[in-house]
Amino acid sequence: MVTMWDNPACAKCATAREALAAAGVPVHLRAYLTSPPTAAELADVLARLGAGPWEICRLGEPAAAALGLADWGRTPADVPRWLAAMAAHPELIQRPIIVADDGTARVARGAEALAEAVRRAAGTRDADPLVRRPARAADGLGPGG
Domain count, the chain: 1
Task: Give the mean pLDDT of 2-20.
Answer: 95
Q: What is the dihedral of CA 107, 113, 115, 120, to 10 degrees?
A: -60
Instruction: Kindly tell me if the per-residue pLDDT of 138 is higher than 90.
Output: no
Has residue 144 been placed in a domain? no
Burial zone of 42 (CB within 10 Å; 0-12 exposed, 13-18 middle, 19+ buried): buried
Average pLDDT over residues 120-129: 61
d(CA 28, CA 98): 10
pTM of this structure: 0.80
CATH of the domain at 73: 3.40.30.10
Residue 145 lies in a domain: no
Q: How far is the first Cα of the chain from the last one, in angstroms, to the nearest whole number?
A: 31
Confidence of residue 120 (pLDDT cuts 50, 70, 90): confident
